Amino acid sequence: MVNRFSSSRGDRDRIEAGRVLFAQNCDFVTGAAQVGHLPLHELPELAFVGRSNVGKSSLINALTGRKSLARTSNTPGRTQQINFFNLGDRLMLVDLPGYGYARAPKKSVISWTELIHLYLKGRANLRRVCVLVDARHGLKNSDRSLMRELDQAAVVYQIVLTKVDKVGNVAQQTRCEIERELLKHPAAFPAVLLTSSQKNIGLSELRAEIFSILPKVGQGIALG
């Protein structure tokens, strides 16, 4: 099971740059349960979003090589605020609460779901959203609803399949099906990445992709 990176010099350089980026210190900055608590800063942001229990926190921990940077749980709905992590003063990683089913009071689910939508549509320095999809289940209606919303807001997003080690070669078929569907979504990045936090599948490629969104030296992010 492989991702679509060739052995070209350019791809090798991107993978190495991604490795160096994620070798930097990554520290928790703050958690925001309300829009008014979102931090103001000049770093570009990369957000991770997906259905509850899709593996967002596990993926962040695996990418950064930290076991407990982001809190993980088998209980859907554990993350109930937007958490910000500073990666080497180069990039802010943003862990969003899960949407869909969650073991939490309905009022709380509604509140953090609204917070997700307000953040995604109104964040000036948000460079890309990684929409995580469980490879065992593929796209669900809740994923498609979010994708349409991101299309309308012109927020660039990329589908990242998680837990691909659980499905073997079926993940390749799922990727192809999703990529065909993405042709109808103007804000979607066309390539789907395959990952597994437990087996370290696709992490180098995802780090390289994340590195590619960083502004070039001398460019800044204008805050709204």
40-49, pLDDT tens digit by residue? 999 999 999 9
| Angle (deg, nearest 10), helices 9-22 and 203-211 | 90
User: Is the C-alpha dihedral spanning 210, 92, 219, 36 positive or negative?
Assistant: positive
Res 127 pLDDT > 90: yes
Task: Share the mean pLDDT of the chain.
Answer: 86
Q: How far does Cα 173 stand from its chain's mean position? A: 21
User: Could you tell me the pLDDT band of residue 106, with boundaries at 50, 70 and 90?
Assistant: low
The rounded distance, in Å, linking the Cα atoms of 193 and 6 is 14
Q: Which residue has the higher pLDDT, 140 or 6?
A: 140
Q: Which of 7-16, 29-38, 207-216 has the lowest mean pLDDT?
A: 7-16
Res 173 pLDDT > 70: yes
The rounded distance, in Å, linking the Cα atoms of 54 and 79 is 12
At the fourth CATH level, which superfamily is domain 9-211?
Answer: P-loop containing nucleotide triphosphate hydrolases (3.40.50.300)
pTM (2 d.p.) = 0.87
* Strand, helix or coil for residue 134: strand
Cβ 115 vs Cβ 82: under 8 Å: yes
The domain limits of the chain are 9-211
Our separate counts of H helices and E strands in the chain read 6, 7
Give the mean model confidence (pLDDT) for residues 100-119: 64
Please give the DSSP secondary-structure letter assigned to residue 106: H
Res 122 pLDDT > 60: yes
Give the mean model confidence (pLDDT) for residues 46-74: 85
Res 105 pLDDT > 60: no
Question: Which residues does 217 contact at the CB level (< 8 Å), separation at least 6?
Answer: none
Res 78 pLDDT > 80: no
pLDDT at position 76, please?
Answer: 41
pLDDT at position 216, please?
Answer: 72
Give per-residue pLDDT as tens, 16-48. 999 999 999 999 999 998 888 999 999 999 999
Q: Which residue has the higher pLDDT, 69 or 73?
A: 69
